[in-house]
Amino acid sequence: MQGVIVVNHPLIQHKLTLMRDKNRSTKNFRELLNEIGMLICYEITRDLPIEMIDIETPIAPMKAPTIAGKKLVFAPILRAGTGFLEGMLNLVPSARVAHIGLYRDPETLKSVEYYFKAPDDIDQRLVIVMDPMLATGNSAAAAVTRLKERGAKNIRLMTLLSAPEGIQTFQRAHPDVQIWTAAIDSHLNDHGYIIPGLGDAGDRMFGTK
């Protein structure tokens, strides 16, 4: 599928299967989401630009590669997007974090914003928007629209599971934003849940159901 990178590394696929199991504990579900967050982050940052800098090892001076440009911004969509955050920050500790609070109206399935906080110079940074479940695509599309309004130009979307409907809606709204996901499932049900999916990611992370 164009514009979508399915990260089908065996470790990610194995961990995702563990997460789908309805008997998985809340603690273990959270741990796995963080681990997968780290692994997808590794892939999504694969093509970051590099520059050579002068350093001295204990033995000799050398030119060594370092990541060029401003620090990344990780932008989790609350609340489930935070499930990726710790693993990603373990990998890229200097990244900035933007929080985007959106909830899905249960009647209309549309996104409603209740919180937004991002670094001022977001226009100069690569922004990775995180939401484990790309279901209707409305929340992810609304989050990216908001980030673009604030000046963000270089945006990528990171999800765990995607529905074809969500990918289509998101890509219609933001054809310039590439998606990284661990799997594309069959479809959405009438309540906007991904089938077969893994249930409500937020509830499973926080034990709220």
Which residue ranges make up the site for ligand URA (CB under 6 A)?
Answer: 80, 133, 135, 192-194, 197, 200-202
- Extract the tokens encoding 135: 């279901």
Residue that is written with structure tokens 């985007």 in the block: 100
Which residue's CB comes closest to ligand URA? 135
Instruction: Write down the least CB distance from residue 1 to ligand URA, Å.
Output: 19
80 or 158, CB closer to ligand URA?
80
32 or 92, CB closer to ligand URA?
32
CA distance 136 to 165: 6
Instruction: Write down the least CB distance from residue 61 to ligand URA, Å.
Output: 52
3-state secondary structure 9-44: CHHHHHHHHHHHCCCCCHHHHHHHHHHHHHHHHHHH
3 or 192, CB closer to ligand URA?
192
Instruction: Write down the least CB distance from residue 109 to ligand URA, Å.
Output: 9
Radius of gyration of the chain (CA): 18
101 or 192, CB closer to ligand URA?
192
C-alpha distances out from residue 88 to 41, 46, 128, 129, Å: 6, 14, 10, 12
- Extract the tokens encoding 197: 């999916």
What are phi and psi for residue 7, nearest 5 degrees? -90, 90
Instruction: Write down the least CB distance from residue 198 to ligand URA, Å.
Output: 7
Instruction: Write down the least CB distance from residue 7 to ligand URA, Å.
Output: 19
42 or 193, CB closer to ligand URA?
193
